[in-house]
Structure 1
Amino acid sequence: MIGRKRKLMLLAGMVPILAFSLISCKHSTTQGDSTWEYHTHPEEAGWSKKKLNEAKKFYNSLGSTAVMVIYDGKVLVEWGDVTKKSNVHSVRKSFLSALYGIHIENGIIHLDDTLEELAVSDHDPLSVLEQKAKVEDLLTSRSGIFLRAGEESLMMRWNRPEREAYIPGTYFHYNNWDFNVLGTIFNEKTNTDLFSEFHERIALPLGMEDYTPEDSFYKYELNRTIHPSYLFRMSARDMARFGQLYLQNGQWAGKQLIPKEWIKTSTSKHTAVPASKEYGYGYMWWVADNGRFQDLGLYSAIGRYGQSIDIVPKENLVLVHRVDSDHLLNRTFNHVNDRDRLRLLEMILDAKL
């Protein structure tokens, strides 16, 4: 039983709360010290240098700490320190979505597995209704299970509905309980560790330049839940590789790392998001569902404070946007919202000749 196993591990002291120190890294990137290829002259690639500079001025006004734009598989622009590793926050969920695609294709995990069948539990036992939630409901944040969870913002806590307010699979509520339980289910069903899987199946094949297994860790908040959050620290240029992998339909260097059909399915809209003017929701991906960005096929991995991997298939482009939140306690960073980040993306797209 998933819940019982986790409790026993915790009681045995096998998985203590992890404290970590910030990892130092290089402070700048040049074309010579990266394996990324670069567009030497934006104009030759079909982009206006003047308009890209206007976009950079807007970027500077936001307080963002790094941006990287990949066009046709090469770096078009990079601003800020694209080698600095920091918390990607909820972008982590799209990383796990990729791993789910691999193991759903090989039959280890099934979308219609219920939490009752998976023996999922927590400090508070699930009700009969809650046990009917399926893996697919968790992937779309529609489980209908409204329990306390790790890494919750104050807004998440304040807006949490009452238990059994909605039938599983019928109501979208962005809920870290769903996402964190997916980590527990993944580890139990695959008999592996999601961080090891990510490193071996994604990071190594992509040739990530800064990420190491030590940049991933579980965060336990045992006063709230037995299910830990799975956190990643990563640089902009390594996040860009993940985005490019998706832009290439899961293929890298001639190998299919993530099933092509899963890329299509997970980045398609499965539920409306009433609170968002820009996005619907897929399987742990945000999917543009109106206007220009919908026409361009935009989908995004988004994290708190302004982290994102924005993929624009119709323009063969990936944007990575970072806000380094390492100074969270003294609040010496800005929070870049979706509206401003997408305005920056729009300015970059408008620079194409």
Structure 2
Amino acid sequence: MTRIAALALSVCLTVPCLASGLPRSSPEDQGIPPSAILEFVERAERRIDALHSVMVVRHGHVVAEGWWAPYDPGTPHELYSLSKSFTSTAVGLAVAEGKLSVDDRVIDFFPDEAPDEPGANLAAMRVSDLLRMSTGHESEPSLRAADDWAEAFLAHPVPFKPGTHFLYNTAATYMLSAIVQRATGETVLDYLRPRLFEPLGIDDPRWGTSPQGVTLGGYGLSVRTEDIAKFGQLYLNHGRWEGEQVVPESWVGAATARQTSNGSNPGSDWDQGYGYQFWRSRHGAYRGDGAFGQYCIVLPEQKAVIAITSGVKDMQAVLDLVWEMLLPAMGPSPLPPAEDDRAALEARLAGLTLAPPEGPGSNATAERVSGTTFEFPDNPRGIESVTLRPEGEGTTLAFRVDGEERRISCGHGSWREGRLAFERFPEQPAAAAGAWTGDETFTARICFDETPFVASLRLEFSGEGLLLDSEANVGFGPTGHPRLVGSPAGGSAP
């Protein structure tokens, strides 16, 4: 069965799906008109490029869920900084077990890594300062190039008194992970397995580590969309899950409360205060979130949780759409059945897909250049050549990178799934689609569907040469690459 077929079977708005851990319900039974959710999806497609999944939970029941193919319900998605809220949970559990206190000094956990004569501000920094992003730093410590990440953090200047200056600081979350490991003897991932992941039925969570073998903490966790929703429901339930107190209620309250001020713009969901690795939001909500639009939104007043994964540049736009379309639709009582609207919503959710390139699968240029190898001068990306060939109902691009062949098999009008090594990135799950978007231009999109990233390649066969442009949908820096200009191997015209 393909993942797209599995997606169609997974959409169950009215039939309970007990094996997943969260029961299903119709939107109407939980006080939400299906038309409001449908309009949310439609507006997301018009305004936002692009959501990858959405799951709406009300009163503990999933009332709507959908994945934009090639994303699907069974594949984990990288969470980026949404990972921080899970690390906070590990700290709370360790505090409850008496392994540490939020009032403990940070340097006391790292006697070998701390400076011989720590400054007064560093010496005063406590676990609570790490949790609320008030370490006293003026700039975030850079850890990746360091030989020892904890040592690099502790060597970074601390010009402000801890607790007085908010600075979003992923390195601080790494230190929380390292502290949990020092205090418990286990990585945060291993520590959370029996205490959080297994009770919630979160299977096979993946989380990277530093060179020192410490769970990254501030990023790097990958789980499924429903796992995000379960985590939010746990917090909405004040730490209880299926009758058991999985996380102390006192920790849930402290972690999601406003622990520090971080701005004054009433229209920004990033200026509403910060808790213990959770953001306060407008409308009485709170959330964990991660780069490029990974969200676990908890609305206590509405008894709702919204889980979203995406690859977006404007994260505020996603929250604005939630407040605009979903929040006001959550009524206090069940609604009469709306079969036609619900059927329309089910059909729309089952057919969601990221748009593949539009155009014919072949044309005169395709026939002219098929099988011709175009070579490129030396370039920082190591791309030596590319050859385009028809393949069934699609097209294969054969790249040669640093002496190795890398094949991209593109479906036409649909996503072709598999694994590929792209440029100098290692082999990983991906799906690709392509089309002739102009008389001389072939465009391919490559979706790395365990991540937010979608790459676009544009091959323009201009005259006897080839112009290659590429760009990613999102990134932490520039998303485009300089154009490469290729020519037929041996100098002969195709």
Interval containing the TM-score (normalised by the shorter chain): 0.7 to 0.9
For the residue of structure 2 that corresponds to 1:283, the secondary structure is coil
For the residue of structure 1 that corresponds to 2:273, the secondary structure is strand
Partner of 1:171: 165
For the residue of structure 1 that corresponds to 2:105, the secondary structure is coil
1:80-95 to structure 2, matched below 5 A, reads 80=67, 81-95=72-86
Give the 3 Å change call, closer, same or farther, for CA 249–196 of structure 1 in structure 2.
Answer: same
- How far apart are the structure 1 equivalents of 2:254 and 2:198? 25
Partner of 1:137: 129
Deviations 1:253-287 (A, max 9, x none): 11101000111111100111128632210011101
Aligned counterpart for 2:253 among listed residues 255, 264, 272:
264
1:64-103 to structure 2, matched below 5 A, reads 64-80=51-67, 81-103=72-94
Give the 3 Å change call, closer, same or farther, for CA 218–345 of structure 1 in structure 2.
Answer: farther
1:150-161 to structure 2, matched below 5 A, reads 150=144
Partner of 1:186: 180
Partner of 1:217: 208
Q: Which structure dedicates a bigger proportion of its chain to helix?
A: 1
Displacement of 1:119 in angstroms is: 2.4
Partner of 2:193: 199
Displacement of 1:128 in angstroms is: 1.9
Partner of 2:143: 149
Give the 3 Å change call, closer, same or farther, for CA 25–170 of structure 1 in structure 2.
Answer: farther
Partner of 2:22: 36
1:1-353 to structure 2, matched below 5 A, reads 28=7, 29-31=10-12, 34-40=20-26, 42-61=27-46, 62=48, 63-80=50-67, 81-119=72-110, 127-129=118-120, 130-145=122-137, 146-150=140-144, 163-208=157-202, 211-213=203-205, 215-220=206-211, 229-230=216-217, 231-274=220-263, 277-278=268-269, 279-288=272-281, 293-294=283-284, 298-323=285-310, 333-353=311-331
Displacement of 1:236 in angstroms is: 0.5
Q: Which structure dedicates a bigger proportion of its chain to strand?
A: 2
Letter in 1 for 2:123: Q
Give the 3 Å change call, closer, same or farther, for CA 219–87 of structure 1 in structure 2.
Answer: farther
Whether the 8 Å CA contact 1:310–1:318 is kept in 2: the answer is yes
Whether the 8 Å CA contact 2:293–2:318 is kept in 1: the answer is no
Whether the 8 Å CA contact 1:319–1:345 is kept in 2: the answer is no
Displacement of 1:144 in angstroms is: 1.5
Whether the 8 Å CA contact 2:188–2:215 is kept in 1: the answer is no
Give the 3 Å change call, closer, same or farther, for CA 299–121 of structure 1 in structure 2.
Answer: farther
Give the 3 Å change call, closer, same or farther, for CA 26–259 of structure 1 in structure 2.
Answer: farther
Structure 1: gaps of 5 or more residues = 1-23, 152-161, 324-332
Displacement of 1:27 in angstroms is: 5.5
For the residue of structure 2 that corresponds to 1:233, the secondary structure is strand
Deviations 1:47-89 (A, max 9, x none): 2222221111122232110010110111111121333212110
The higher relative CO (CA closer than 8 Å, separation ≥ 6) is in 1
- How far apart are the structure 2 equivalents of 1:44 and 1:186? 42
Whether the 8 Å CA contact 1:112–1:135 is kept in 2: the answer is yes
- How far apart are the structure 2 equivalents of 1:219 and 1:188? 14
Whether the 8 Å CA contact 1:286–1:301 is kept in 2: the answer is yes
Whether the 8 Å CA contact 2:239–2:246 is kept in 1: the answer is yes
Give the 3 Å change call, closer, same or farther, for CA 235–347 of structure 1 in structure 2.
Answer: same
Q: CA-atom RMSD, angstroms?
A: 2.6
Displacement of 1:110 in angstroms is: 0.8
- How far apart are the structure 1 equivalents of 2:216 and 2:56? 29
Partner of 1:158: none
For the residue of structure 2 that corresponds to 1:143, the secondary structure is coil
Displacement of 1:114 in angstroms is: 0.8
Displacement of 1:344 in angstroms is: 2.3
Letter in 2 for 1:246: Y
Displacement of 1:207 in angstroms is: 1.6
- How far apart are the structure 1 equivalents of 2:132 and 2:328? 32
Displacement of 1:116 in angstroms is: 2.8
Deviations 1:9-48 (A, max 9, x none): xxxxxxxxxxxxxxx99952233574432113x2233222
Whether the 8 Å CA contact 1:149–1:176 is kept in 2: the answer is no
- How far apart are the structure 2 equivalents of 1:309 and 1:234? 12
- How far apart are the structure 2 equivalents of 1:138 and 1:261? 19
Displacement of 1:174 in angstroms is: 0.5
- TM-score normalized by the length of structure 2: 0.56
Give the 3 Å change call, closer, same or farther, for CA 121–182 of structure 1 in structure 2.
Answer: farther
Number of residue equivalences = 297
Q: More displaced, 163-172 or 242-251?
A: 163-172
Whether the 8 Å CA contact 2:189–2:215 is kept in 1: the answer is no
Displacement of 1:343 in angstroms is: 2.3
Whether the 8 Å CA contact 2:11–2:65 is kept in 1: the answer is no
Deviations 1:205-264 (A, max 9, x none): 1122xx315x222144x9xxx976242111101111111111111011111010001111
